[in-house]
Structure 1
Amino acid sequence: MSGSLAYGRVDRDGRLVEAELPLQRLQESAGSGLGQPIAVPQIATMARLAQRLGILVSRCVIAAEGSDDLDLWVEAKPDNDGVALSVGGWARRPSRGGDEGGERVYDFMRSRGDWLWETDASLKITSIGADAAESMVGQPFGRIFQFVDTGEGLAILEALATRARFEGQEAVVRVSGERVRLTGLPLMDGGGRFAGYRGNAFRLDGEPAVAEPQEPAVDAFGARLEKALRGPLSQIIEQAENIGAQKDGPIRRDYAEYANDIASAGRHLLGVIGDLVDLQAIERDDFRPRSERIDLTEIARRAAGLLKVRASERGIRIDAPAADETLLAMGDEGRVIQILVNLIGNAVRHSPDGASIWLRAEAQDRRAVLVVADQGPGIAPADHQRVFDKFTRIAPSDGAGSGLGLYIARRLARAMGGDIAVDSAPGQGARFILSLPLA
């Protein structure tokens, strides 16, 4: 029942007087029952703390149930009758001291000889045990690893799109050329929402593989920028998130909100750094993306899947191409995903709650065309070219981005022999049209 919420109540005397079945079973496994003092020490401590301070307390805890450990997210909210509990997560794993047999879904996180990694909900690395780890924190997962197709397709992309477990995905660490095999398990927060991935990288024997041709390295400015800012910003974000989550104990609500604002600003700055580094790469004279046969509709479905959670939080529906649709084009798969994530992400940002976004693919005059259409406020004809300029935001509602996303997307499309155009008018939504050579 991983991710489900179970509710309960502790009275003012510390007794568990109400509990849904999972919480009741946990209480009973600790040797107690309904109407008796709560016997799970971690939850009992949180209930007492919430009641004493008169504030909501929430944090991750590990509780024992039989021979297993449970990773839980617990919220304890005081009221006149005691403390209301909501307990989520319910990720079961063998206890560190438990039996070695049986299913062990978290074994890969404790294996010797490998290193661990973890991402946040936007698939940016939050911790990693590899060499040069400091420079990797804060970067997108796909920028750290180049995934290797061993002949059965890149299953990891489907797993990432659907927030599913994956294992056995071969990859190359871009900065070192080291070959690894990746396994990952999705993380859920206390409300059952996707919170990222945690996984392991198993080193493969042999010499480091030579990755497929990559974009030329960024120039010295980009390298210095990343080295100087990415590590410190990542540390600021991590500390601010810990404070905001009150992992070290309860604090005033406004202080927690300030900490969350700091973390959000830090993530924004990391995104700007990523855009600037991309800018340095694509503006080099020797920048050449790969040219290979790709299925534009399949990539559109993957990109839509990556943004599905963000869209669903506002009731926005992304209507991707049907599973049986195919449109072959020539381009760089990774760069096309980057372009479509930007276009669909913009559509989500500018669409009203409950709106729809449509992705439509067709062949036109020896071109493979993918249209991203939204129900947002639209763009005046006079601004159709300006939206593709560097550092341009047409309206204050465009947010605090770098203003580079569409510029980079169009440069990438043109480098692959394609283009991006816009068709829009105020009040009529926007249609961004990606075209690539037909395969």
Structure 2
Amino acid sequence: MDSPGESMVARAILDSSDRILSADPPIELLHIRAGGAAEDRLAVAPIARIVRLARRLGIAVSRKVCVADEEGDLDLWVQARPETGQIRLSVSGWRDRAAWRPRATPRDYAAAGADFLWEADAALRLTFLSPDAGCRHGFDATAMLGRPLNALFVLDGASGPGLLSDSTPLDGRGARLRPTDAPVRLSAAIRHDGMGGIAGLVGATYLIDPPDEDEGARPSRAAPLTDSFTAGLDRALRTPLARIVANADSIAARADGPIASDYAEYATDIAHAGRHLIGLVDNLVELQAIEQPDFTLAATPIDLADVARRAAGLLGVRADAAGVAVSRPGPADSLPALGDFGRSLQILINLIGNALRYSPRGGEVLVSVADEEEWAVVRVADHGKGIAPEDQPRIFEKFERVDPTEPGGNGLGLYIARRLARAMGGDLGVESAPGEGATFTFRLRTR
């Protein structure tokens, strides 16, 4: 479609059902090329959304939109004005823009000798796999489509938000095929949409030949996160996430006036999601520190019973909201140990918080202390669904969760907690069985 020119204003009148009563040729042609017929509702979706919004609010609404049209896009300025059951539409701007073309396509990787190709959308769900990928490599490629990227790959090292915040998110990254545990290397590039936003990833998979028996076992893990990565992630995400959470909390609290309860609930969900992402950023920054080869913690005299009391107290509001009682050491209880007060508090907040998350309403979390020879021991027990023996080693690994579909958590808390415990000369373990709850044991030396 030839653009009518930026200064040209095309007009139309729509009835109460969004059907065109009259329209200038440019608007009528857009409607037809979008698949609309004379008796159909306005078929140009971006313009139709503005029309519906104006009708619902009962006021004139003006917006800039981008409309896809054959081989090009059109930037338009649209105004919709309600008038006695009709909508008077004015469309101006009419600026041509080259249609979006992906910066990277699967063909870009085909010549590099990849074993198979894949694509994922902005939510990191698989949208394309090479047709023969599954039969050649031991998984059902059709069943994988629409599932998260981590359903197919277990990435070595950190993953998550960094995959869509770097121009080369996967450049030879080590990984394993989850269905077969085969080692692979991944390469990918970010795909951008027509507005310059992130539309997902397009990438390639290269299988790594298994080593000979005399060459050792599995390939070494990726290097720890770098200072520049975590510092950049912190700067890039913390401020906008904090702003999102603050605004969502303000909306949920109806600070600027009454709103429908559904919208308040949506705002609460947004705030919870924002806090979850801030927690992930915190954990990734923490991860950078604890994975340094020289990471150590000073061992100073602390009262581990006092630390346990404080941790339980800090989570009192969350426990009340969850309807779960927390039994903690009494004021007279004392348990001398050698460790770092702040890090010990961090570990116990993580353990008690997890216990609250998995405890049923009306249940109880028991926090107890004991002096066992040269060890000072804190146990955090819940009456949740428990953890199968085969899953217990996994929960202390990075980005591993027994059930990824459950809300909350990012698979880093227990990994960090155990690393911190061992950096203080102690340890962290679990005893559990399905249906019988779980007991986490945090121990530090007494001398």
**TM-score between both structures, scaled by the size of structure 1:** 0.49
User: Which has the bigger relative contact order, CA under 8 A and spacing at least 6?
Assistant: 1
Indicate the structure (1 or 2) with the bigger Cα radius of gyration. Answer: 2
